[in-house]
Amino acid sequence: MDVAFLVSKEGIEQAELTEPWKAVEHAGHTPRLISPRPGRVQAFQHLERADTFEVDITAADARPADYAALVLPGGVANGDLLRWQQTAVEFVRGFAATGRPIAVICHGGWILIETGTVTGRRLTSWPSLQTDYRNAGANWTDEEVVVDGNLISSRKPHDLPAFCKELVEALAT
């Protein structure tokens, strides 16, 4: 099964992209990189440029029904840029309607706030987003990983082992 990884053009926290990517592959699934624009995206290790990655398909061309799960990696710039890209917002809104797993870490959740997906949901994120989540009607908590139905959330790269474990378990059901 294909798993969608949605990112902006730059500012993706590399470990939050590559570690779940490896976990998805190891579990026998095929990760696909989706972005509002074709070409390559720029990842970062905190504030330092890291690797670039080739986009598989644009958000405008991707169909939510084609993916078993959606992963939203963090990175401050990634989360902020993604939420005002209309094709990305439409993809996430459409994916949320499927009820399939959505795994979000760090600042990746800003787009979930934009789509109204977090209202009434329990989740975690990088602590600086807690007010944004609460203002959007979410129940924010400071935990390593939170699973609320189909929504899996974590705070930071240090939480990746627990985040990846929950993502893989969600794909197995």
pLDDT tens by residue, 23-33: 999 999 999 99
Alpha-carbon span 126 to 156, nearest angstrom: 6
Contact 129, 107 (CB under 8 A): yes
| Count of CB atoms situated within 10 Å of the CB of 95 | 25
Q: Is 158 a catalytic residue?
A: no
* DSSP secondary structure, 41-82, as one string: EEEEETTEEEEEEE-SEETTT--GGG-SEEEE---HHHHHHH
pLDDT at 7: 98
Q: Which CATH fold topology does 2-172 show?
A: Rossmann fold (3.40.50)
pLDDT at 80: 96
Beta bridge partners, 3, equal 31, 69
Residue of 26, 29, 107, 158 with catalytic role: 107
Domain extent listing, the chain: 2-172
From first CA to last CA, the distance across the chain in angstroms is: 12
pLDDT at 9: 96
Higher per-residue pLDDT: 31 or 46:
31
Q: Determine what percent of the chain is predicted with pLDDT higher than 90.
A: 99
Beta bridge partners, 42, equal 10, 52
Alpha-carbon span 167 to 154, nearest angstrom: 11
Q: pLDDT category, 42, cuts 50, 70, 90? A: very high
pLDDT at 86: 98
Contact 132, 101 (CB under 8 A): no
pLDDT at 107: 98
- The two tokens of residue 34 are 């989706």
Cα three-residue angle 91-94-100, rounded to 5 degrees: 105
**What average pLDDT is seen over the chain?**
98
Nearest to 92 by CA among 119, 116, 120: 116
3-state secondary structure of 142: coil
- Eight-state DSSP code of residue 138: -
What pLDDT digit, counting tens, does each position of 87-127 carry?
A: 999 999 999 999 999 999 999 999 999 999 999 999 999 99
